[in-house]
Structure 1
Amino acid sequence: MNSKAEALAAAKKRIIALQKQMVTRILEMAAEVEKLASATTEREAREFLRVTCNMPSSELSTYVRFQTTLKGNEQLLESSRVSFPVVKALVSADPATRKEVLERMEIGARIDTTEISRIRKRLQEAALTPGQVLAARNGKKLAAAARRNTADAVTSFQEVLYAFSEGLINERDPEKMVSDDVRQGAAQIRRAFESLFGTRHGTVDQTKPGTSAHEMALAYETLKNLEDGTLAMPRNRALRHPGLVALQNLTGRSPEAYKPERPPLRQGPPAHHRLKAIEICAGAGGMAIGLDRAGFDHVALVEYDENAAATLRLNRPNWNVIESDIRDIDFRPYRQMDIDLVAGGPPCQPYSSDGYGLGKDDPRDLLPETVRVVSEIRPRAFLFENVDGLLHARHADHVAEILRGYRECGYNVEIHRIKTENYGIAQERNRVLLVGLRKDVTGAFRMPPKFAGRRLNLGDALMDLMAANGWTGAREWARDRREQPVFDRQGNVVARGALASTIVTRRGLPRAKEAARWGAKCVDIAGLPDLAPTDEQASKPGFMPALTARMRARLQDFEDDWSFVGGKQAVADQIGNAVPPRLAQAVGLAIFSSIEDVSWDWEAMLWPEESRRMHMVPPPLQFEGVVAEPLVSTAT
């Protein structure tokens, strides 16, 4: 046997083995889904597979229906080495087609999806008389010809509509919108619209936003208003009229003004192009700082805790801080303000692995309230942050219900995981993001890029603060943290530079595992000292430096001049519950980009040339009321 024949024989052997492995995995997956379905309802099983297991909808339906369509044929499917597309086609086939395909497989016939389609078509025609078959075929030919003619007419209509809407999409002069040329053009296009699509489109209020019916109703109503000269322009002249956008969408093309390649923005949008946000469960302002940097102006920030609300007012006196439980607020009046983003960090304790994980049974669970807030405000987008535990299997049903609520409000929803260490934050902090875009928003959300090269370690982040009270060993401590190896689960060194463990709130002594995690990084996480360590403290046996509130705040990416109101416990709570500002900024920029069609120079936006952090030793945090004097540089 020559070398080519040997290679082909070896390849055949390997490929057949892989095919057997693949079909085995398909059957094992079907068996697992069957077990799941026996323990829950089909609806719950579907939501669990989609939300918790991230299974695509196309695969999900195949596995869920496998037990009612193909169960008992596992051995035949395995011996035939069927692919997943064939299994999917068999599951969706009618019983007669499925029966014949399985019979053919029993005699060794090789079956693919094309063959299944042929069998289905032949069986359907076999049930008809010759005359019916001929009529059906001629009907298909006629329908195809009609589609071609309609397609030509639609293409011609789109060309005319594009030329018309292109001249109006960015028009801001009300006089131009009621000119004779515009009204006559609208009348001509309205007649063409009716000849193609009819006149029964309902009203905008009768159709669901984000659906094609809503788009058609909005476009039709806009044409009639333009023809009558009654189209009301948005109060904000910087915004495009949604009806004109709907007309532009019908053309299948982007506005000419948006075609040229524009360089990525290196700084935030000017004041008149900033977007409007409402934030709930705002805490100490970490997310608010980031969203502000990303180009969002806060119409209101809602926070229940009096100390956190005071922190917001102290640092940003111009912010509209509402100190209230969101359950007591009617958000419907904000709908008239065309809010772009609703954001917030609902309490994470119901889902935290450090707590009891009661989920929906925890009275602090506000996730259902987020659905109400979104439905009442109807923003273009929403962003809610929580802990990794939200995706634990025991919360799957509850989370699925929440996601269903968002979708019923007219939003496309995505769940993403994000790590703070990928954004220059020296902390191991994994978070879950719920991001939704209203269905009439034409953009698509994309997560911000990761910046592995910006990885910051615990030592470099805190060295100046550790040395602030005269500890001469601070530099050596920082160097050791910088050089400390990071291991994966297999014990392999994957990086250098220790990260802080997740900053949590402070109540009593730390748990053993938490103390051990911090101890491995030479940090005593117990307590909350007022000042950085001294040489005298460092001389004691077993010394490890503890973290002051200011150190914790910096590890959470707060600027050194951001002050906190309250006692030690209140400040620790605010810091531990916060969203790191740069993380919020990155996600905020991604949302801004998805709804406004802009691109960013990410490095310039997240790490501007002028450092935001003051290069000075900040004073320690003052508890029970913060001294808010500006920081004074110690440089001479």
Structure 2
Amino acid sequence: MNSKSEALAAAKKRITDLQSQMTAKILAIAAEVEKLMDVTPEREVRDFLRVTCNLPSSELGTYMGFGRTLKGSEALLQKARVTFPVLKALVAADAETRQEIVERMDIGARIDTKEIAVVRKRLTEAKLTPEALMAQKNVRLVAAAARKRSADTAALFREKLASFALHLRKMNASDLALASLSETVRNDALELREQFTDIFGTSRRSLNKINLNSPAFRVAAANDALKRICEGRFGNSSHYAGVKKWPASDSQIIDVLLLLSGHPVPRRGWVRGRNAITELPPHRYRLKAIELCAGAGGMSIGLERAGFEHVALFEYNADAAATLRQNRPDWNVVEADITKVDFKPYRRMDIDLVAGGVPCQPYSSEGDQLGQEDERDLLLESSRVIAEVKPKMFIIENVEGLLHAKHGDHVAEFLRRVAKAGYQTEINRIRAEDYGVAQERHRILLIGIRRELAGSFRMPPRFPERRSNLGDALLDLMSENGWTGAREWARQRRDCPVFDRQGNLIAHGVLASTVVTRRGTPRTKEAARWGSKGINIGGLPAAAPTDAEASKPGYLPGLTARMRARLQNFPDDWKFHGGKQSVADQIGNAVPARLAQAVGLAAFAAIRGVSFDWEAMLWPGDRGRLQMTTPALYLDQPQLAPGRKKPEQNVRTVESAGDW
């Protein structure tokens, strides 16, 4: 045997062995799913597999249907080294097709998905008389022709609609007024409306009764726009007097026609042209948010920087609530237990976002991981808030331990509840280090969006090139009390090589371990982990190191509250209320501000349909001073009553290099 033949033979053996292993694993998963279905309702099994086991929805039906379609054929399927696509096609096939394919496998035939489709078609046609078969073929022929004609008609309609709308867009206000009186324009609109009715049918639903963000609204709005042009209710601002919802201007009528034609519409308002946004919008374009478990304000700062206006921030801890009020006197901080708050009145306020970092202790690897048995758990409570407020989106942050298998049923119940409330939810992981935060902080985000907005959300891009390090992040704070060794300490942290699990060098510059709340002596592993990074994590020093302290053998500096806050990306002028341990707890429980800002910008982009220049927003650098408006909410009330009018806006100037 020559070298080529040997190589082919060896490759064949390796590949067939791997195929056998893959088939065995697929069949083993199917067996486990069948066991689950014997003791658990099918819907719960589906949620459990999707959330806890990360099984794609496209695979769930195959595993769940295996027991009732192919049970007993495991040995044959293993012998044939069946792939997942073939198994999926078999489960989906009718019983007769499946039986023939299994018989073919039994005699050693090689089966693929195309073969299964051919057999299914042949068996279906065999049951028909020649006349019926010919009739069925003619039905398919007519359907294909109708689809082609429909596609051609739709394409012609879009082309005419785009030409018509673009012609109107080029006109100024006086030209539009004349166009509304033009018989030619009205006849063109009438012809387009007749074609519109042929494609979409007729609808008598009022625009005021259709959700503003739904596809049904876009179709109904286009119909209404053409009707207005036909009737001459166009080109005159008086036609829009008192209009609250749609349309409020000629431009909105033109825009909705352009969008329906598939033509991109330049954004209006504070966005000019197609350039990505590089600064916060004016106040009237801000979005409204309710924040749960706001803590010391890490997420709150990020959402504020992302263009959200807080209608209310809920926080149970008195010190944390005082921290929020001290730094943002104009925020409406509600010091309350959310389990005792009725959130339904907020639905009238058309809230854009409900966000919060619900307590992580029930799921943290540092704790007992009691999950739903922990009295501090608020996961399902947050689903109640979402259902009552009905925001356009929600963002719930927690630790990675939330996705531990033992919490699968609990997370699945959360997903069921928000799905029932009308949300599509995705689970994402995010790392603080990808946003220039000098800390190994990995978090889970449960992000839900109302179904009419589904598909519009995208996670923010990552910026690994913005990676920071412990030394650069803390150098100025470490040296502020005269420690002459601070610069060398920082250099060592900066130059330290970082390797992945396979031992490959991936970066230079060590990151801080996850900043957590801690009472008493740190655990041995935690102390060793921080020690390897040049930090003594035990204790809460009140001040930066001195030369006298650093002269002791084996000295490692500790982290002051301000250093911990810096690692959590709090602004340096952010003040914390409470004792030493309370402050450490507030900082450890926080969401890094820039991480929250990145996710907030992604949410804003999804809701408003805009694009951001991410680096300009997240790292404004030396862009100078930025004017930012925030609402002067009622400070004398514990909770802003839904429906109350807001007073005049306060404007404050924020230094780019400080809060930004």
Same fold (TM over 0.5): yes
Tell me the distance in 1 between the aligned counterparts of 2:298 and 2:172: 37
Q: Are positions 1:25 and 2:25 aligned together?
A: yes
Deviation, structure 1 residue 580 = 0.6
Match of 1:618 in 2: none
Q: Are positions 1:196 and 2:199 aligned together?
A: yes
Query: Residues 548-588 of structure 1: CA distance to partner in whole angstroms, max 9, x if unpaired?
Result: 11111111111111111112222112111111111111222
Q: Are positions 1:70 and 2:70 aligned together?
A: yes
Match of 2:264 in 1: 254
Deviation, structure 1 residue 75 = 2.6
Deviation, structure 1 residue 414 = 1.4
Match of 1:108 in 2: 108
Q: Secondary structure at the match of 2:362?
A: helix
For structure 2, list consecutive stretches of 5 or more residues without a partner in the other structure. Answer: 234-238, 626-653, 656-660
Tell me the distance in 2 between the aligned counterparts of 1:267 and 1:506: 38
For structure 1, list consecutive stretches of 5 or more residues without a partner in the other structure. Answer: 614-629, 632-636
Change (3 A) 1:524 1:418: same
Q: Secondary structure at the match of 1:440?
A: helix
Match of 1:474 in 2: 486
Query: Residues 240-272 of structure 1: CA distance to partner in whole angstroms, max 9, x if unpaired?
Result: 999987766544443366999834333333444
Tell me the distance in 1 between the aligned counterparts of 2:418 and 2:166: 33
Change (3 A) 1:57 1:241: farther
Residue type matched to 1:364 in 2?
Answer: R
- TM-score normalised to structure 2 length: 0.81
Residue type matched to 2:73 in 1?
Answer: N
Q: Is the 8 A contact 1:209 1:410 kept in 2?
A: no
Query: Residues 75-95 of structure 1: CA distance to partner in whole angstroms, max 9, x if unpaired?
Result: 322332333221111010011
Match of 1:627 in 2: none
Residue type matched to 1:319 in 2?
Answer: W
Q: Which is worse superposed, 164-173 or 126-135?
A: 164-173
Match of 1:634 in 2: none
Tell me the distance in 1 between the aligned counterparts of 2:359 and 2:250: 36
Tell me the distance in 1 between the aligned counterparts of 2:379 and 2:358: 7
Match of 1:89 in 2: 89
Q: Secondary structure at the match of 1:76?
A: helix
Match of 1:564 in 2: 576
Query: Residues 208-232 of structure 1: CA distance to partner in whole angstroms, max 9, x if unpaired?
Result: 8877666656665776688786877
Match of 1:345 in 2: 357
Q: Which is worse superposed, 395-404 or 551-560?
A: 395-404
Deviation, structure 1 residue 176 = 7.3
Q: Which is worse superposed, 261-270 or 354-363?
A: 261-270
Q: Is the 8 A contact 1:468 1:532 kept in 2?
A: yes
Deviation, structure 1 residue 529 = 2.1
Choose the corresponding residue for 1:356, options 335, 356, 368: 368
Tell me the distance in 2 between the aligned counterparts of 1:149 and 1:537: 84
Identity among equivalent positions (%) equals 58
Match of 1:141 in 2: 141
Match of 2:636 in 1: none
Query: Residues 56-103 of structure 1: CA distance to partner in whole angstroms, max 9, x if unpaired?
Result: 111121122122212222232233233322111101001111001111
Q: Are positions 1:119 and 2:119 aligned together?
A: yes
Q: Secondary structure at the match of 2:468?
A: coil
Q: Secondary structure at the match of 1:342?
A: strand
Q: Secondary structure at the match of 1:267?
A: coil
Q: Which is worse superposed, 285-294 or 436-445?
A: 436-445
Query: Residues 183-207 of structure 1: CA distance to partner in whole angstroms, max 9, x if unpaired?
Result: 8876655544433333367667887
Tell me the distance in 2 between the aligned counterparts of 1:602 and 1:334: 31
Residue type matched to 2:78 in 1?
Answer: E
Deviation, structure 1 residue 418 = 1.0
- TM-score normalised to structure 1 length: 0.84
Match of 1:431 in 2: 443
Choose the corresponding residue for 2:329, options 317, 332, 348: 317
Q: Secondary structure at the match of 1:349?
A: coil
Choose the corresponding residue for 2:593, options 557, 566, 581: 581
Q: Is the 8 A contact 1:97 1:119 kept in 2?
A: yes
Match of 2:612 in 1: 600
Q: Which is worse superposed, 253-262 or 154-163?
A: 253-262
Tell me the distance in 1 between the aligned counterparts of 2:336 and 2:66: 50
Change (3 A) 1:30 1:387: same
Tell me the distance in 2 between the aligned counterparts of 1:443 and 1:37: 31
Q: Secondary structure at the match of 2:453?
A: coil
Q: Is the 8 A contact 1:418 1:433 kept in 2?
A: yes
Q: Which is worse superposed, 241-250 or 391-400?
A: 241-250
Q: Are positions 1:448 and 2:460 aligned together?
A: yes
Change (3 A) 1:196 1:446: closer
Q: Secondary structure at the match of 1:350?
A: coil
Tell me the distance in 2 between the aligned counterparts of 1:226 and 1:242: 13
Q: Secondary structure at the match of 2:452?
A: coil
Match of 1:305 in 2: 317
Q: Secondary structure at the match of 2:121?
A: helix
Cα RMSD after superposing both structures: 4.0
Choose the corresponding residue for 1:294, options 306, 323, 334: 306
Aligned residues: 616
Query: Residues 256-307 of structure 1: CA distance to partner in whole angstroms, max 9, x if unpaired?
Result: 6699983433333344443333322221111121122222233332222222
Query: Residues 366-398 of structure 1: CA distance to partner in whole angstroms, max 9, x if unpaired?
Result: 222333333343333222211111111111112
Match of 1:623 in 2: none
Deviation, structure 1 residue 433 = 0.9
Match of 2:640 in 1: none
